[in-house]
Amino acid sequence: MELANARKDAASGLDPPKPPKGIFFGGGLGGEQGLPVGINSISSDAAVFDMEYARWLEVHHRIMCELRAAVQEHLPENELRLYVDNCLAHYDEMMNLKGMVAKTDVFHLVSGMWKTPAERCFMWMGGFRPSELIKVIVNQIEPLTEQQILGICGLQQSTQETEEALSQGLEALNQSISDTITSDSLSCAPNMANYMGQMAVAMNKLSTLEGFVRQGLRTLPLRRHVSLFVETLYLQTESAEIGFDEMAPKTKSLRTSRNPELIRGVGKYSRSKMYHKRGLWAIKAKNGGVFPTHDPKPAAAQTPAAKPPKFYPADDVKKPLVNKRNPKPTKLRASITPGTVLILLAGRFMGKRVVFLKQLSSGLLLVSGPFKINSVPLRRVNQSYVVATSTKVDISGVNVEKFDDKYFAKEVAKKTKKGEGEFFEEKKEEKKTLSVVKKDDQKAVDAILIKSIEGVPDLKTYLAARFSLKSGMKPHELVF
């Protein structure tokens, strides 16, 4: 004020009065401390900040118009998220700009001269209170789920605690600066060094104001807000972003309940409040104090359903299982040829030597002893349980065309129901014997085989002997 009065007097032609002692030391003092010299003059950094802020507002208006248009078009959530991320990046640019001016001219940032007069009423450490932002957003995205309400309450509580801590620290800083300046008289002291030392201490404490402002800027949890509210419907999320900037009216879905639930089972409005909110009192008054009743629509005549029978068949009907296996013909081992002498390795005739006749369609081998030599009749064996020898028998004269798998099928006797009397008079079953036809077939095959075997010396004795391992024999060195 003294500097302003001196300039007015100089402009009017009057001699400037002498400054009082301890009040003014010249116009260079503010400049030496990096402060503006006059009331209407600002630093170069502050001027650059004002220009950048004006440019930021223009871009911000364009981004918000694009975001509003995207919400009205009901774009998919993934596409709307791109617009939200673009808006957040734009706010990050503003936070970085505030952080830069806080280093060079923190008073310009705190004073709020770059804001409109209405916005300056809500200034707090170079911006707005984050807790107020939460209140604005909550009013735009109701109803919320119970989990989302708990998350918002926790975020609001932590934000208010941080604001309170910063406010108390700033108040303590103001009190400390005031105590430092008023500790001694500000008049020109005989010892100028002591006076300048006091001022240096005060200015050092003022420099901590920058740290408080930067902490205040860092406590603006814009990204935490968006990450918390993005779990709601994307339409409500975008409405919250627009409401944060322009306090837009509520945009509710057509399916939104008139009484949103604060938590499960607890509505926002009471029963009487909803009675007036729904206009039920007007409907009741129009109908003479009672609610109108409507006759129910006549139900369509339904044909009686077919009554199921009292009894149902309980017999189990066997359903054949689906067999997707494709049977393939079994490949005969190369060492087994018609007339080869085989050694049986399993079954009741284990160790007996037999003559291989042919391979059946099932893959089994048709062999014979002959029966008169080693008591092995015509039978089927698996080639996995035989050992092929190098001995051969001439079977060119043996006719084996009639022998197939059906020839060896077991005859199933039909069971007849027996009465009580027949049960006690039941006779013992007779022992099954080989049919005459099969006996004749066995004799016909053996007659030709024995004739061929007797033509080879010692072959009959070889077939009659049972194979067995004795001590000192090494199976892996045997040659059959």
My answer on whether 17 and 90 are in the same domain is no
370 cis-preceded (ω within 30 degrees of 0): yes
Asked whether 466 and 352 are in contact (CB, 8 A), the reply is: yes
| One domain, residues 231 and 89 | yes
Q: What are the C-alpha distances in Å from 322 to residues 66, 92, 315, 325, 328?
A: 64, 69, 21, 9, 18
Determine, yes or no, domain membership for 476.
Answer: no
Task: Of 149, 135, 131, give the one whose Cα is nearest residue 231.
Answer: 149
Is the separation of the CB atoms in 327 and 362 below 8 Å? no
Can you give the pLDDT at residue 156?
A: 75
Cβ proximity of 165 and 194 under 8 Å: no
- For 159, how many CA atoms within 13 A lie in the half-sphere containing its CB? 22
- On whether residue 478 sits in a domain, the answer given is no
CA 152/CA 164 separation, integer angstroms:
18
Nearest-angstrom CA–CA distance, 155 and 148: 11
Contact predicate 177/205, CB 8 Å: yes
Number of domains present in the structure of the chain = 3
Residues 401 and 359 in one domain: yes
Structure confidence at residue 30 (pLDDT): 40
Provide the domain limits for residue 24: 1-31
Asked if the structure places residue 228 within a domain, the reply is yes
Spell out the residues 6+ positions from residue 143 whose beta carbon is closer than 8 angstroms to its own: 256, 257, 260, 261, 268
**Rounded to whole angstroms, how far apart are CA atoms 475 and 24?**
124
| Confidence at residue 334, expressed as pLDDT on a 0 to 100 scale | 93
| Domain closes at, from 187, 211, 246 | 246
Q: Which of 145, 148, 147 is nearest to 261 (CA)?
A: 145
Give the domain CATH number at 342. 2.30.30.770
Cis omega (within 30 of 0) for bond into 475: no
Distances (CA, A) of 65 to 45, 242, 248: 30, 9, 12
- The verdict on 25 and 46 lying in the same domain is no
Q: Is residue 384 in a domain?
A: yes
The SS3 assignment for 399 reads: coil
The per-residue pLDDT for 249 is 41
Q: Is residue 399 part of a domain?
A: yes
Local structure of residue 384 (DSSP, 8 states): G
94-to-97, 133, 135, 226 alpha-carbon distances in Å: 5, 16, 22, 17
pLDDT one digit per residue (tens) for the chain, 480 residues: 344 444 445 444 444 444 443 333 333 334 434 444 444 557 788 888 888 888 888 888 888 888 888 888 887 877 888 888 888 888 888 888 877 877 777 777 777 777 777 777 767 666 667 777 777 777 666 667 777 777 777 777 777 777 777 777 777 777 776 776 666 544 444 554 555 555 555 555 555 655 655 555 544 454 455 455 444 434 344 444 444 444 434 444 445 677 888 777 778 888 888 888 778 878 888 888 888 887 887 877 777 778 877 777 777 778 888 888 887 888 999 999 999 999 999 999 999 999 999 999 989 999 998 999 999 999 999 999 999 999 999 999 899 999 999 999 887 777 766 666 665 565 666 777 888 899 999 999 999 999 999 999 999 999 999 998 888 888 788 887
Q: Token pair for residue 452?
A: 């061929």
Residue at 89 is within a domain: yes
Same domain, 395 and 362: yes
Task: Name the maximum alpha-carbon separation found in the chain.
Answer: 161
- Residues 11 and 132 reside in one and the same domain: no
Tell me the two tokens of residue 9. Answer: 């007097």
Residue 205 and residue 60 in one domain: yes
Q: Note whether residue 127 is domain-resident.
A: yes
Domain-located, residue 416: no
Whole-number Å distance between alpha carbons of 422 and 269: 89
Q: Are residues 52 and 26 in the same domain?
A: no
Q: Which two tokens stand for residue 43?
A: 């630093």
- The reply to whether 159 and 220 lie within a common domain is yes
Measured from the Cβ of residue 130, the count of other Cβ atoms closer than 10 Å reads: 22
**Backbone phi and psi for residue 342, each to the nearest 5 degrees, phi listed first:** -115, 150
Q: Which of 228, 246, 264 is the last residue of a domain?
A: 246
37 Cβ contact partners less than 8 Å away, ≥ 6 residues apart: 3, 27, 30, 31
266-267 vs 340-344, strand pairing mode: unpaired
C-alpha closest to that of 206 among 176, 183, 182, 184: 176
173 and 201 together in one domain: yes
State how far the Cα of 192 lies from the Cα of 190, in Å rounded to an integer.
Answer: 6
Q: What pLDDT sits at residue 142?
A: 61
- The residue out of 246, 273, 308 marking a domain boundary is 246
Count of other CB atoms within 10 angstroms of residue 343: 17
For CA atoms 469, 471, 476, 480, give the dihedral sign. Answer: negative
Question: Same structural domain for residues 362 and 237?
Answer: no
Residues 86 and 14 in one domain: no
In this structure, the number of other CB atoms found within 10 A of the CB of residue 35 comes to: 13
Q: Yes or no: say if 60 and 246 are a contact pair by the CB < 8 Å rule.
A: no
> What gap in Å lies between CA 280 and CA 291, rounded to an integer?
9
